[in-house]
Structure 1
C-alpha cells in the first residue's frame, strides 16, 4: 500500500520484522533477475529452433532443461511467497500501471481481494493520503524501481490504521514491467506510540516553558551534552542556536558565581551526591538571571560516573520576590520601631513576644522588663476610677470574642502612685505564634484636658442656669413694666385725643405733641416685644404666602396711597414676616408728606424674589445708607424714634436667608424718595399658579 515518503523518515528503531521484510524483498529481486535471465535464454532457444531444423534434438533437450528450470523457479517463487506470507500481514499483486489490484491477501488487517479490483484506492487508502500516494506511484512507474511507503488505510474491521509496504516491479524478458508484487504490514501501534511520544515531548516542553525549567543530559564518556529547548531560552538563546558544551554553559555563569558553581559540579561527580546549586547567569544581551540547578550522577557498575542528568530552573522572579520581601520586612521593622504609638505582639497566653521602644516610654518600663512581664505587677483602672479585672483587658477579650477590640481607655497605676492613662486596641493575627497585636497610646494629657473641660463645662452650665434665671427675672420685670406702661399709654392716648379735639392754638399744638409722644412710646414697647420674640422664638421656617402677608399689611394702613402688583409665590418664613412690611410701610407713611405715594413690587428671580417698598417722601442721605439698618441708627428723622425698626427688618430678612438694603427711588436723586429692597429665597415647590391682580389703597 502506498504511503507518504516523509513518513518513512522517522527516528523509531527498526524491528526484527522490518529486517525480515527487507531481506525477503531482496531475495525476490534476486529471483526475479534469475527468472528474467532464464526467460531470455528460453526465448533465444525457441527462435533458434525455428531457424535450424537440424538441431531439433538439441532444442528438445534444451527445452527440457528450460521446463525444468521454470518448474524450479515456480517452486522457488512458491517457497518465497510462503516465506513472505509468514513474515508479512498483507501480500498483493498490482497491474503494471497500478490501475487495479489483481490479488490481495489481507490476513486480518485488510479485506481480501480475490477478483481484480479497480476501486482499491478508494476502498483502502485514506482520502487525505490518496493524492500524494498516487504521485509516488506515478514516479515509481516512470523509474521502474522498488519503492516503499507508510500511510493510513481502512482496516478490515472498518477502523483507521497505518501500514508500511514495499512494492517490487516484475519484468518480462524485454524488461517491461508485467506486474508489481508487494508486501505490507500493520504499523498502527507503532504510529500510536510515536504520536504518544510526540505529545509527551510537547507536553514536557510546554511544562518546562510554563515552569521556566530546562533539562540537560551530559554523557561523560562521549563528552556529549544535550539541552532542552527551554534551557536554551533560559540562557537567552534560540533553541539549537549553538552546540551545547560544558564550556558553553560555564561561560554563561556570572563571573562572581562561576568558581563556586564549578566546584559544586565537580563535588557531585566526585562524591556521587545530587547537586543543588543557585547562581546567576548572564545572557548575551547582558541581562542577569538567577537559576537553580539540580543534578544527579549515574554511574557504571564499577562506580565510574558515566552520565549527569539535571534540571535548570529560572528563579529570577522568586529571587526578586524574596528581595522585595526582605526589603518589606526591613521597612516593617523600621516602622515597628519608629511608630509614635506603643506596639506589642502577644501569644495566645497573652505573653509578650515583641515590643517597640515607644511602648516602654509610655509605660515607663524598659523593653526587657516588658518582655519579662513587669507590667503584670501594676494596677489597671477603668475610666470611672474602679479597678479593671484581667478579663476586661483588650488582650483577653480578643481571645474570648475572636474579634478586634478598639479604643479602650485604661489607667495604669505606677509604683509611685501616679496614673498613666492609655488608649489600647487589640487586633487578632492569623499566625500560629503571633496571635494578637496591641497598640497603646498615651492619653494622659488628653485625660487631663478632658477633666479640665468637664469642670469648665460644669461651670458654664452653672453660669448658664444662673443667666437663665436672671433673664427670666428680667423678662418678668420687663413684662410687668411693658404691661403697666402699655396700660398707662392707652389711658394717656385717650386723654391726649380728647385734648386735641377740645383745645386750640398753642394748647392744641401741645396736646398733639403729647399724643405723638404717647404713640412713640407705644411703638417702642412694640419693638421691644418684637426683639424679645426674635430672641426667644427659634421655630423652623415654613412656606408662607407672600401675597397674603402684603395684602394684610396694606389693610392696616387704610389712609395711605399704596400701589401693589401681586405675585403668587411662597417664601420660607415664620409669623414675624409681617413685621418687615409693618416697619417699611409705617416708615414711609410716618416720614412722607401727606400725599406720599407708596409702591410695593415683587420680582421673581432665578434664586428667589426681590421685594421693593418705594415711597415719594424724603430720601435717605448717601452717608447713612450703609449703617441705616444698625441698631439705634436713625435715618430720615434725626431725633425722632429709637432706631429699632429697620434693625428688626434686617434681623428678620437675615433669618429668612436674604439680605436688605436701601437705594434712591430715582438713581442719583435722593430727594425724590427712597426704595427699601430685600431678597427672600423661594420655598421648595412653592410657586402658585393663577392670574395676578392689581390692588390699590388710597
Structure 2
C-alpha cells in the first residue's frame, strides 16, 4: 500500500520532533560537562536551558516539564560533584526550570486548544455557508420556475382580455375588463418584485460611480419634460449590485405622485464622518403622516414595493434612507452613507 503524502509529512514531523528533543538533551549534557563540570562555571550557562525548554514547550506543551526536570537534576548532580556539598541555589534553579516549562507548556496548550476550536468553528461555518448556498440556489430555482410558469399563463390571459375588449362595446363590461387588466399588471409587478428581492445580498457589494450612473438615467425618460441634474462630483458608493434600481424607483415615484414635477436634482454633502446623498424634486411632496408609511411593503396606489425595496437594498451595506421634504414643496429623500461606504475618486 503506497504511503500518502500527508502520512509521510506526519511521520517526518514526528521524527523531527524526536530528533530535536535528542539534540536538546545532548546540548544540555555538553553544557553541564564543558561549562559546569570542566570550567567550573555554575550558573550563567543555564540560561540556555530556558531557551531549550521553551522550544520543547512549543512541541510538547506541558510535557516539556520532563526535559526541565532532567536539566535540573543534571545541574544539581554536577554541582554536588564539583563542590562536594549540597546547596539551595541549584535546587532553586531546577525548580525555576520546571516552573518555566509548566507555564510555557500551559500557554502553548491553551493557544493550541483555541486554534483547534477556531479551526473547528471555521469548518462548521464553511459547511453551514455551503448548505445555505445550496438551499438558496434550490429556492431561487424553484421561485424562478414558478414565476416563469405564472407569467406564461398571464401573457395569453392578457391577450384574451384584449380580444374581449375589441369584441364588446358595453361600457360596464369594458370597465370590468380594464380592472382585470390592472390586476394582472399588478401581479406582474409583484412577480418582478419577488425576483429583485430574492437577489438582495446574494452577490458581493461593489463601488458605484454616482455621477456616471445618474447621467445614464436621463435618456430613459425622453417623454417627460423633466430636467434631471446632479452635483455629486466624483462620488462612489459601496452598495449591493441591485443599487441601480433605487434612483429609477425614486424618479418613477416623482413622476407618478409628484404630478407637477419639472425638476429632479441629486446632490451630496458630508456631515461628520458620514455622507448624505440628497434626491429632490419640485412636485407635491409627501404628507407628514406618510413619510414613514411610504417605505412599508404594499403601501401606495400601485404595488407599493419600490421604496420598500430601495430601503432593503441600501441596508445591505449599512446605508439608510428617509423622506425629509416639506409637503407642497416637493419630495426630498436623504440617503445616509456611513464612513467607509463612500469615497471620492480623482
Pairwise TM-score range, normalised by the shorter structure: 0.5 to 0.7
Aligned with 1:676: secondary structure? strand
Is this contact kept in 2: 1:650–1:660, CA < 8 A?
yes
In structure 2, distance between residues paired with 1:501 and 1:580: 38
Aligned equivalent of 2:269: 605
Q: Which of 129, 135, 142 is matched with 1:464 structurally? A: 129
Aligned equivalent of 1:410: 60
Aligned with 2:231: secondary structure? coil
What does residue range 368-447 of structure 1 map to in structure 2 within 5 Å? 389-393=17-21, 396=24, 408-411=58-61, 438-439=100-101, 440-443=104-107
Q: Name the one with the larger helix percent.
A: 2
Q: Which of 288, 292, 309 is matched with 1:648 structurally? A: 309
**Which whole-Å deviations, capped at 9, do the CAs of 1:74-115 have from their partners, x for residues lacking one?**
xxxxxxxxxxxxxxxxxxxxxxxxxxxxxxxxxxxxxxxxxx
**What is the CA distance between 1:536 and its match in structure 2?**
1.8
Q: Return the structure number with greater relative CO, CA threshold 8 A, min gap 6.
A: 2
**What is the CA distance between 1:496 and its match in structure 2?**
4.2
In structure 2, distance between residues paired with 1:625 and 1:584: 14
What does residue range 82-161 of structure 1 map to in structure 2 within 5 Å? none
Q: Which of 517, 527, 536 is matched with 2:202 structurally? A: 536
Is this contact kept in 2: 1:584–1:613, CA < 8 A?
no
Is this contact kept in 2: 1:585–1:613, CA < 8 A?
no
In structure 1, distance between residues paired with 2:172 and 2:232: 50
What does residue range 192-231 of structure 1 map to in structure 2 within 5 Å? none
Is this contact kept in 1: 2:323–2:334, CA < 8 A?
yes
Aligned with 1:513: secondary structure? helix
Residues 528, 598 of structure 1: CA spacing in aligned structure 2 closer, same or farther, 3 A cutoff? farther
Q: Which of 212, 233, 242 is matched with 1:569 structurally? A: 233
The normalised TM-score by structure 1 is: 0.33
Aligned equivalent of 1:619: 286
In structure 2, distance between residues paired with 1:600 and 1:394: 81
Aligned equivalent of 2:44: none
Is this contact kept in 2: 1:610–1:679, CA < 8 A?
yes
Is this contact kept in 2: 1:628–1:646, CA < 8 A?
yes
Aligned equivalent of 1:330: none
| Correspondence 1:663 to 2:324 | yes
**What is the CA distance between 1:651 and its match in structure 2?**
3.7
Q: Name the one with the larger strand percent.
A: 1
Residues 600, 499 of structure 1: CA spacing in aligned structure 2 closer, same or farther, 3 A cutoff? farther
In structure 2, distance between residues paired with 1:447 and 1:491: 66
Is this contact kept in 1: 2:230–2:267, CA < 8 A?
no
The normalised TM-score by structure 2 is: 0.59
**What is the CA distance between 1:499 and its match in structure 2?**
4.6
In structure 2, distance between residues paired with 1:389 and 1:532: 54
Aligned with 2:206: secondary structure? coil
Is this contact kept in 2: 1:598–1:613, CA < 8 A?
no
Aligned with 1:616: secondary structure? coil
Aligned with 2:200: secondary structure? helix
What does residue range 17-416 of structure 1 map to in structure 2 within 5 Å? 389-393=17-21, 396=24, 408-411=58-61
In structure 2, distance between residues paired with 1:590 and 1:392: 79
**What is the CA distance between 1:538 and its match in structure 2?**
0.8
In structure 1, distance between residues paired with 2:25 and 2:236: 54
Residues 561, 510 of structure 1: CA spacing in aligned structure 2 closer, same or farther, 3 A cutoff? farther
Aligned equivalent of 1:200: none
Q: Which of 123, 140, 144 is matched with 1:479 structurally? A: 144
Looking at CA atoms only, which structure, 1 or 2, has the larger radius of gyration? 1
**What is the CA distance between 1:583 and its match in structure 2?**
1.1
- Structure 2 unmatched runs, 5+: 1-9, 29-47, 66-89
**What is the CA distance between 1:618 and its match in structure 2?**
6.6
**What is the CA distance between 1:662 and its match in structure 2?**
0.4
Number of aligned positions between the proteins: 271
In structure 1, distance between residues paired with 2:287 and 2:345: 37
- Structure 1 unmatched runs, 5+: 1-381, 415-419, 421-432, 687-698
Aligned with 2:185: secondary structure? helix
